[in-house]
Amino acid sequence: MELLLSSAIGMLTAAGIYLILRRRSFAVVLGTTMLSYAINLFLFSTGRLVVDRPPILQEGATAYTDPLPQALVLTAIVISFGMTAVTVMMALGAFLEGGDDRVDMPRADREPDLARSREDFRA
């Protein structure tokens, strides 16, 4: 089970890192989602891998699983869910206003003459 979990975390992270390094915003959104899945699994494992045990101390229970990582994962899920939505909205906005979905800044962001000709073009 350790092998299964750690290889799953590793593969999700690798896929996530590859995707967030892409130039198109859709791939980047997918990449951040992958990364957040990897993190959620990783946070689970920080409370040690325990199967079939209650998350709290109770009468007669001899073993328990750490409830805190589960609370952390819940928080992380909520936050990453909201963040994904925000990213999608921002990427859509950039696509609709800028005309393409590339993540890198165009040269017109750094060079005045390009900016001017672009403005002329748009006008």
Partner 1 sequence: MSHVLIAPVILPAVIGALIILWMRADLLLQRVFSIAGTAALLAVAIYLNVLAASGQVQVYRLGDWAAPFGIVLMLDRLSALMVALTATLALAVQLYAFGSGWDRKGWHFHALWQFQLMGVCGAFLTGDAFNLFVFFEVLLIASYGLMIHGGGPMRLRAGVQYIAYNLAGSTLFLVALGVLYAVTGTLNMADMAARVAVMPVEDTALLRTGAVLLMLVFAIKASLVPLHFWLPSTYANAPGPVAALFAVMTKVGVYAILRFYTLVFPQDTVIESVVMDLLLPAALFTLAIGQIGIMGTRNLGRLAAYAAIGSVGTLMIAVSQFTPQGTTAAIYYIIHSTLAGAALFLIVDMIGARRGDLWLRLDTVMPGNALIGAMFFVTAIAVVGMPPFSGFIGKLLVLDATRTAPQVVWIWATVLVSSLIAIYGMVRAGSLVFWKPYGLQERPVPHEPAPLPSRGRRIPTKLEPDEHIQDLGDAASPALAAVAVGALLAGIVALTVFAGPVTQFARATADQLHNPALYLHAVLEGQEGTK
- Residue ranges binding partner 1 (CB under 8 A): 16, 20, 25, 28, 32, 35-36, 38-39, 42-43, 45-48, 68-69, 72, 75-76, 79, 82-83, 86-87, 90-91, 93-94, 97-99, 102-106, 108-112, 115
Reading the block at residue 11, the tokens are 């593969």
Give me the least distance between CB of 59 and partner 1, in Å please. 21
By C-beta, is 58 or 60 nearer to partner 1? 58
Q: Which whole-number Å values give the CA distances from 25 to 13, 30, 69, 70, in the listed order?
A: 18, 9, 31, 31
Give me the least distance between CB of 94 and partner 1, in Å please. 4
Angle at alpha carbon of residue 73, lines to 72 and 76, rounded to 5°: 90
Give me the least distance between CB of 82 and partner 1, in Å please. 7
Contacts of 32 (CB under 8 A, 6+ apart): 16, 20, 80, 83, 84, 87
Give me the least distance between CB of 92 and partner 1, in Å please. 9
By C-beta, is 8 or 94 nearer to partner 1? 94
Compute how many other C-beta atoms are within 10 angstroms of the C-beta atom of residue 13: 17
